[in-house]
Structure formats: structure tokens, C-alpha cells
Amino acid sequence: MKNLKLLFFLLTFAFCSQSSEMTLGMAEPYFSGTEDMAFSESSVTRDGSFSQGDYIIKTAYASTDVSSSDFENTIDEVEGLVKNYNGNISNTYLSTNYQGLKSYSLTINVPAKEFESFLTKVEEISKFTNINLNANDVTKYVLDIDSRLKSLKDEKKALEEIKEEAVSTSDKLQVQSQLRYINQDIQVLEGQKEYYENSVSYSSLTLDIREGSGISLFSWNYYVQRALNWIESIIGFGVSFGIIAIPLLLLALGFRKFRSKT
């Protein structure tokens, strides 16, 4: 009777496992290392509000234009603000265009509950030229994971009870094999849920700080900046040339003096 019970359960479980594997193999809006996720997405304006689900991943993309004299100070103030909000900077990139004007891009992560306040404080440092806010609602995916985890854990518990009742070694090995597959599926789902929870707990801002963006070629500031860059290059070239030329000149004079004596 126990063998029939075990056989019936294993057949039933094999069918359920196949269905579960098909479900797990379906495209999910998750997998570590990518941010191109197929969530339901909504853009909101500065005076709007984010979606109101339980699991919302918030992101923002913004840019601000500053004068050359304020460029470094603005970067320092923004980075100081990140520390005040217990955030972190995950990526930075500094570039210079053909006009010699710099652009500094940084990706900032701050606690989600402080995100709107953080954006306001950043704009107090330098007003945004443009900003795009996005709210990705992943609540239904987390709820689906919770449901599947509960089902798998119930199956695991039932299998463990059958394993205890099994008499033959072959029966125990069959149950153990099924338990191994269940544990693997549970680990995958728990990893997905952990990823969502980490993504929801922090919100990110990608900010471009641009030095004199849009400046005209006929602008006085442009020519002053270019002139300063040229002067700096000329001085640098002169110093480098002097370091090489002076020792050579001294050697040449010494050699000439030596030949005149002979």
C-alpha cells in the first residue's frame, strides 16, 4: 500500500514538476546583470507621483547646465549630498567635447523612501535642464514568486514525510532526487525575490552635469576658456622642452669648450 502511495505521489509530482519547469523557463522580468527589464513602466512628471504598488523600482535621468566656474563645486556638492542621504555612486564618467567643455555623468543610488527629497535637494544645488522619472511596478511578479514558493515548499514538506515512511532504498533515492530538483527551483525563486527587494529598497538617479552646455562659438566665455587652455598647453610644452633642451645645451657647451682647449 505504501509503495502504491509512493508511486502515485511520484507520478503526480513528476507531472507538477514538469509544469513548474515550464513556468520557470518562461521569460521573466529578472536576471541579475541587466536593467532592461520588461516591467510595466510609467513615466511621471516632476509634479506627479510614482505608482502606488508594494514593489516599485524608481529611476530618474536628469541633466543640469552649470558655468565653468561652478562645475567642480557642483560635483562636490552633489557627491556630498549623496553621503548625507546614505547613498552611493555606482558609476562615473568624465568627458570633454570639441569646445573643451566638460561633462560629468554619475549614477547615484539612494534609499527609495528618500528619493523624492533627494531629487529636490539636488535641484536646489543646480536646477535641472530636463528630467525623466520612471516607476516600474514589479508587485505582481513578487506575488507570483511568493505563490510559487509556497507551492514548492508544500511539495517539499510532503516529499520529506514520504521519505521518512519509505522502506526500500530505491524509494528513498527516488524521493531524494525529486527533493533535489525542488530545492533548486526554490533557490532560483528566492534569488529572484531577493533581487527585486534590493532593487526596490534603493532608487537610482543618472545625472549629467554639463559645463556651459549649448555655448555659442561667438561667446566671449568660449574664447576665454580656449585661450586659457592654449596658454596652459604652451606652458606645459615649454617646461617639457626646457627639461630636455637645457641638459643637451650644457653638454654641447661643455663639449665645445673641451675641443677648444685641445
Average pLDDT over residues 177-181: 89
- pLDDT of 50 reads 47
Q: Please, which pLDDT band fits residue 28 given cuts at 50, 70 and 90?
A: very low
- pLDDT of 262 reads 66
| Residue of higher predicted confidence among 220 and 206 | 206
- Report which of 77, 57, 67, 90 is spatially closest to residue 118, judged by C-alpha positions: 77
- pLDDT of 245 reads 81
Average pLDDT over residues 136-147: 91
In angstroms, the CA 139 to CA 42 distance is: 14
3-state DSSP call for residue 25? coil
- pLDDT of 244 reads 85
Give pairs for 12-15: CB < 8 Å, separation 24+.
13/155, 13/159, 13/178, 14/178
Confidence check: pLDDT of 81 > 70: yes
Average pLDDT over residues 81-93: 94
- pLDDT of 224 reads 66
Q: Please, which pLDDT band fits residue 132 given cuts at 50, 70 and 90?
A: very high
